[in-house]
Structure 1
Amino acid sequence: MTTHDPIPARLAALKASSTPDLKAQWRELFDSEPPPFNRPYLESRLAYRIQELAYGGLKPETVKRLEALGEQLDGGDRKKSRMRADAMPIVGTRLIREWQGVEHVVTVTADGFEWQGRPYKSLSAIARAITGTRWNGWVFFGLKNHRRRA
């Protein structure tokens, strides 16, 4: 006797679902508001999440390895490749952030950023070096507001 796996049917149903239904599923599965991206993005992320919850996600070792590879490629800033050039601060701009009583100065360079005499490809990598935890560098340095979940 075989057991019926409902996951393939759930994945197939995503294509026929309305966009408002996809957004409702997003809220249920991610416990957050859906991003303002296109329908194919919502479908693919929902399909992954459905499978992740049913079958399990990536092993912690795999996640760490992928993060290390990403750090080597883009300095940890996954959005940098999609960012418009005019969204970057002007070369030479100094970003100043106080953290635990210490003032940190970052200079925008043509290739990224410089902090304490070392080049960095992303503000997130610098924020991580300063705090020891993962931060969105743009939020940490006050260049972007952090939107809280409702």
Structure 2
Amino acid sequence: MAAAQRPRISFRPAKERESAHQRGPEGRRNVLPHGSLGVVARESLAGLAMMSPPQLRAEWRRLHRGRLLPDGLSADLVCRAVAWRMQERCHGGLPPARVRELARLAKQICDGGAIELEREWTVKPGTRLVRQWRGRTYRVLALDHGFQFEDRNYSSLTPIAREITGAAWSGPRFFGLKRRTGQNLVARDDDEA
């Protein structure tokens, strides 16, 4: 018994879509509404699974104008890449900062095979943070879940910085764990201090 064929989905610009009024056998429009969401977009994504590899490659070329399809991609990965691009057109893409970060990581992989991830600052339990402020030295001990300052426990560094300075400071910045440019510094363990 042969499987039922789904209607072919065409992805046409809005002007062509409005003038042609093409509909599939089930009476549904065979288009992806660019910049809008809806049933048609979901059906278009679902229709990708029914496309043959040559149809997927053609769709890739249409969506990625000027960019070649990488060699060695399986039909499943091409389908996922096409679906990503379709959703990106509807929802918008990644923020520019995230795109730059991904490009930086890709360059590192191409250059040396290893990547250097920029991680959020973490302080191991037992680490003692020391900060001088207006002629006085302040010491904070990192605990498993929070920090200890002057025999009181805090869930984060920010209220400690506020208590010391009397102003709204970022706790990690006040204690030198994070620079203004976003670069992280390494805290020393208690036995190294």
TM bin, normalised by shorter chain, reads: 0.3 to 0.5
Please identify the structure whose Cα radius of gyration is greater: 2
TM-score by length of structure 1 reads 0.42
Structure showing greater relative contact order (alpha-carbon pairs closer than 8 Å, 6 or more residues apart): 1
